[in-house]
Structure 1
């Protein structure tokens, strides 16, 4: 039984089934994975994640914090028995799951919409899953916040393996802060001979995570606001995302799109691309991926496609996850 009688304009709710939780990841079929494997010609692998304690500097002053390592009761250099030489080290980590290189699940970003046509909007998520029913988010409630639907584990179970396609915006505009709309993106893709097909994972290289690594503790908010972003105010760009059939978007910047807590009057969202992708279309978003080495290699070899393997943690109920993706060329 469907959870809604009305769906937001521009959404694809229900098109993959009433109970679908995978969205456009459904487009990564066995045939698309086989096509992705045919992009492997050299056998070279590129890791696509930052160290989990990056970014540093002023970014670490925000609400998301770097990981904290500690020992379990076994401790470090613990001997099981004094009569045998076995020694074991065991530890634990406290992680903000979306501090560093990450995937956003569909439970990360929702909206307020009149699902039933009664005139009473409800807080909801992709495919009509509802707050306080399917996604529990009150930290003061009797039940800890978690996602009973749309959690990151649903994404992990797919393996998230398909064909990655890289657009090199750093090559086109350097480190200038540019909002890249549909026309500019189309021009760059044409110049770089980039084609996106159904099921492809679009990777947007701007150069920002390389700056994060280079600056380390000296990273400033000014530098965090450098490099290109996708222009989420451009409705033609959002429509292209819908029409292209891409299955996911990842970028090496903070949010793929610009972010401001002071939106223009009448704005429907502070993060229109998040709303369009995560809420309406079921397109996962990846942020702060390390794409520099891969981008430079692809640039030198006049290529843009590769096999991408990037499952998140299979952590039930989580709304986001660190990811250690690998591109194989």
Structure 2
């Protein structure tokens, strides 16, 4: 799907009987890919031109990085390694919440809250019916989330320009004007179908907090986090440019929302736009600064779990 075949933002909603700004039915009533339809073979082939040095950077935070204090009340990661006598052999069992570390939010995760409808009008009953895989994240594993990524390194831009530090653990907004200023400072060109990745500085602040501080913060309900502002201008910008969005924050957007709606509603339930959260962007920031290039090839394959809600991203950036 090219930019020419995408309705304008002002033409939304596609389903006039559905919730605000929805794109239901744009790719077919049974579509499971949403914005990933934008990642055409031609676009992925062009994105491969970003590979110039072959430098590879993982964006996966360790699965157990939050240890015993994951936010949003999610379960901790458990790893059980056991020997299988009489042979000298080990197996292991992992038990974890798919959103307790780096993750892609899938289309079963977040609905339009008032209407209680997920992407393409799917209901809770549809999802929880026997053997249902509708809107499952396993559908994304077939072709992956592959394309041209861009890093908007908000934290590096903030430091360079001596702007005040925003507390990553308090509800606050990174504005669209700031993000556009970051892109201009980096000299990065935004192309249709790009995978947007925003470094807010969350990880750097996380590692400066003591265990006791993090434990106290994890008990705040609702949790509060720095993130992208909720605004029609931000939604228009995402609609016009990107195939997926991600960041290093636990919620991507400012949390709780400063508006009567949440970006999660429109992005996931309205458009089928993957949202990546808790990506570890520290090494990518160093590499982009070193290469003076803030675009790269992205290869991510969510786990092939039919009917899954979310998944570790299994993601590599390549310059």
Q: What TM-score, normalized by structure 1, do the two folds share?
A: 0.81
1:131 aligns with 2:124: yes
Change (3 A) 1:35 1:227: farther
Structure 1 regions of 5+ residues with no counterpart?
A: 80-85, 114-120, 138-142
Structure 2 regions of 5+ residues with no counterpart?
A: 1-14, 160-164
1:160 aligns with 2:145: yes
Distance 2:71 2:255 in 1: 17
Post-superposition shift, 1:218?
5.4
Q: 1:31 corresponds to which residue?
A: 42
Post-superposition shift, 1:103?
0.7
Post-superposition shift, 1:183?
1.9
Which structure has more helix as a fraction of its residues?
Answer: 2
2:75 to 65, 68, 77: 65
Question: Where does 1:1-329 land on structure 2 (aligned, <5 Å)?
Answer: 6-56=17-67, 59-60=69-70, 63-71=73-81, 75-79=82-86, 86-112=87-113, 123-133=116-126, 135-136=127-128, 148-174=133-159, 175-177=165-167, 179-213=173-207, 215=209, 217=211, 220=214, 228-232=226-230, 234-244=231-241, 246-260=242-256, 267-269=259-261, 272-329=262-319
- The answer to which of 171-180 and 207-216 deviates more is 207-216
Post-superposition shift, 1:161?
1.2
Distance 2:151 2:16 in 1: 38
Distance 1:163 1:219 in 2: 37
Secondary structure in structure 2 of the residue aligned to 1:318: coil
Instruction: Compare CA radii of gyration and give the structure with the larger one.
Output: 1
Secondary structure in structure 2 of the residue aligned to 1:124: coil
Change (3 A) 1:76 1:131: same
1:55 and 1:212 in contact (8 A); partners too: no
Distance 1:62 1:186 in 2: 30
Deviations 1:46-99 (A, max 9, x none): 011111111246x4375212211225xxx41522xxxxxx42111211111110
Distance 1:226 1:131 in 2: 27
Distance 1:183 1:299 in 2: 22
Change (3 A) 1:216 1:287: farther
Count, aligned residues = 292
Post-superposition shift, 1:216?
7.2
Distance 1:216 1:282 in 2: 37
Moved over 4 A (4+): 213-216, 221-228
Q: 1:83 corresponds to which residue?
A: none
1:210 and 1:290 in contact (8 A); partners too: no
Post-superposition shift, 1:156?
1.4
Distance 2:92 2:289 in 1: 41
Distance 2:20 2:117 in 1: 14
